[in-house]
Structure 1
């Protein structure tokens, strides 16, 4: 960490948005939220979106009733007189609109940056989390721990609730648990959290960022200006290096988390107990018990790591050990995240549809042995050799679905040639029922059938939620003896 810092520029106060011509890119939830907030502070706002369908027209009509101009079917042309562009997270940095803004000398920021600039003087501090995988789970664990400590808090950001709405809402909070994606961090130059964590960094969204280096650098922005703690993953050297590069407030500490016994200034695990050797009076000779591994649901290794990161941020905010334990016990994971669906004929069926990349699938596969693996979908440019090589000894069999399943099949042939593979040559939604039937045929009592696709879902399903629901429905049919595949 490189020492004291100040923001690179002095961000405008809320009042300085009054009278400014601001273009908002994107008609989604975050874009609409930012547009409304800026108009209410006197800005002249135009929302642009390349779509012109029924959904966009309905959303445009709502905004226009509030005095917000909307331009549909053209997301590339910069409206005349624009002084600031506010983008939704998904818009790529090389979008024509931003190229035009750069030529005109117009700043481009995201909705998170707007929330930071608009927050009142007595705004709640942010405890922020990013990472390739585990962000949502960790932020929700953190919120549960903070609530158990009696603090007024909520989970916001990339987790679903637009942070602008929370920052400017009537309800007052003591602290916010904030999930930030690499997209959001890219467009948030002034954000300075109280403390922050990077859970892990693995190749993902490289088509958006352009390179692994750029992706990691955007993740590392979350550490800028931290005041108390930069939390990193001791098993992931990239996260530690990002801490070393960070420009922080003097006195801010680097706090690691590990699944092994912790060194001083780390949280870790000793004989089934989560312990703290960072926020104790004498960390060189003492450790504080926080919770048991059994208090974490589910107690898979990567989820224990999430719990340690959440605990570290909570402890950085002064939360007592009992609240860490109580918060973890109260936490329940969101659906489709290593979710146990059912046991059928001695075989466990687990839904990890949220494992949309190889890093997430690796963590999921590492939690079970032996495994019949259901995988496939849209690879997003990923390769699968490393994943398959690491998981090969755990695999009882594999069932492949989706548009890019051949990439996984070829990796299996190279690194796990003895593992039986069923290649389902179909991408319709009904393929999931067939996949579950084939997995059941390969599995033996004591095995786990794990749907951890390592791919995105949009080739077959609306999103990973729909994919997970299809898996769960097929498992329920199997349990009741009504497998759709068998009926056909």
Structure 2
């Protein structure tokens, strides 16, 4: 019997490589007509046969299980046929979980889901554990396939796994010693059909939990999780007294103990206070010390390119939100920072109006700096606000830093794609941080 892996994306390839390395028969199938040259060589070296351009039902003959990539819905004809034949359909996360449990080496799973904030909470929880001297790795939807992280990690590692609703659709025996459900807003409804199905899919993160495990949930919305499956002990986070909360003076508390002031966090915004509280609950449950959590919260810079603090000079702080490639993302960044703001906007225009930024900028704008190909559209929508036009990126950053005064924040959150001057938003953000480092040392 063989395993069929459907989808040659990051997680599918990771699963296929694992099975091949174990000497287990595996075949990879993908809708692309052909693999590119690099992938073709990689598959040949690993001894992984591939079927390209289609998913013939004949592949399901003598198939013990089907491993699907997160982007593939269970309604896809090939998947539906596998289910009709009684073939288990799982994802790469389930494969990795199986390996963790078979090893029985003291490793644990901490899992994070929600519509927003998953990546930051996942990465932060791993950071808190590392600062406490505990082995931990952030993986899953965040970037590194879980199976790759498991194979590279030592014994007794905490695997902090970001899980999307797509990944949770294909879990079976998955069990997390600590699991967090952060929030719920409309998303992926084309896949799930309605909010209730989406919510129930998110709740699958708790399904395998036992009485000694921890269920982390938002205090303000019990309707999201009141019917959660599993037997985990509930710990809440929020803005009034509970297991992890922020008081009216901005003080963060964990299990009745003061942690720190929210002003000491390097990641700004109410949403990041909530992420910090949820991450602290997970890390504490997995053995992180109060001092380690406190130190970790103060040192955590945020994920790259997501409102990440990257330098300070003369009372001016700079933040890289290069991932703010659309107006909605930039609105989130604007709401997270108190201002006054010098905001860098521009790049490749996406056709949406920039007018919604006005309300978020009210009362906190020092100056706008328009750059790149979107200058005409930015000038049309926001040109009556205080602004400078500086087409070239480096020049625009220098201008923004020079315009800021003590107490200001210089924010790169362009509300545009990066393709006019960069290959991607990562390259744009890296360049911003390099310029900020030079400025802060001068």
TM over 0.5: yes
1:141-160 equivalences in 2 (<5 Å): 141-160=124-143
Conserved 8 A contact 1:254-1:265: no
Cα distance in 1, alignment partners of residues 76 and 242 from structure 2: 46
**TM-score where L is the length of structure 2:** 0.78
Q: Find the counterpart in structure 1 of residue 278 from structure 2.
A: 309
- CA deviations 1:161-187 (Å, max 9, x no partner) are 321133355721253222223332233
**Residue 233 of structure 1 pairs with residue 233 of structure 2:** no
Q: Find the counterpart in structure 2 of residue 58 from structure 1.
A: 38
Change (3 A) 1:288 1:347: closer
Cα distance in 2, alignment partners of residues 69 and 438 from structure 1: 54
**Residue 254 of structure 1 pairs with residue 234 of structure 2:** yes
Cα deviation, residue 29, structure 1 = 3.3
1:275 to 241, 248, 253: 253
SS at match of 1:245: coil
Cα deviation, residue 127, structure 1 = 1.1
1:7-406 equivalences in 2 (<5 Å): 19=1, 21-41=2-22, 43-51=24-32, 56-72=36-52, 74-78=53-57, 80-81=59-60, 83=63, 84-91=65-72, 97-98=78-79, 101=82, 106-121=87-102, 122=104, 124-168=107-151, 171-204=154-187, 214-227=197-210, 228-234=213-219, 237=221, 240-249=222-231, 252-258=232-238, 260=239, 262-269=240-247, 271-276=249-254, 279=255, 287-293=256-262, 295-298=264-267, 300-341=269-310, 348-355=317-324, 361-366=330-335, 367-375=337-345, 389-396=359-366, 398=368
Structure 1 unaligned regions, length at least 5: 1-18, 280-286, 425-429, 482-488
Cα deviation, residue 310, structure 1 = 1.1
Cα deviation, residue 111, structure 1 = 0.7
Change (3 A) 1:354 1:322: same
Cα distance in 2, alignment partners of residues 93 and 381 from structure 1: 34
SS at match of 1:336: coil
SS at match of 1:80: helix
Cα deviation, residue 80, structure 1 = 2.6
Cα distance in 2, alignment partners of residues 391 and 87 from structure 1: 44
Structure 2 unaligned regions, length at least 5: none
- CA deviations 1:238-278 (Å, max 9, x no partner) are xx4332131121xx3332222x4x323443346453212xx
Cα distance in 1, alignment partners of residues 350 and 176 from structure 2: 31
Conserved 8 A contact 1:376-1:454: yes
Cα distance in 2, alignment partners of residues 201 and 209 from structure 1: 14
Q: Find the counterpart in structure 2 of residue 449 from structure 1.
A: 410
Cα deviation, residue 193, structure 1 = 1.3
Cα distance in 1, alignment partners of residues 428 and 198 from structure 2: 27
Change (3 A) 1:76 1:404: farther
**TM-score where L is the length of structure 1:** 0.72
Cα distance in 2, alignment partners of residues 332 and 305 from structure 1: 16
Cα distance in 1, alignment partners of residues 90 and 180 from structure 2: 22
Cα distance in 2, alignment partners of residues 291 and 471 from structure 1: 30
- CA deviations 1:206-257 (Å, max 9, x no partner) are 565565555544433323333433222345x3xx4332131121xx333222
Change (3 A) 1:327 1:402: same
Conserved 8 A contact 1:204-1:357: no
Cα deviation, residue 140, structure 1 = 2.7
Q: Find the counterpart in structure 2 of residue 283 from structure 1.
A: none
Change (3 A) 1:134 1:382: farther
Cα distance in 2, alignment partners of residues 189 and 434 from structure 1: 53
Kindly tell me the number of residue pairs found equivalent between the two proteins.
Answer: 435
Cα deviation, residue 391, structure 1 = 4.4
Change (3 A) 1:381 1:256: farther
Cα distance in 1, alignment partners of residues 347 and 187 from structure 2: 15
Change (3 A) 1:243 1:377: farther
Moved more, 430-439 or 147-156: 430-439
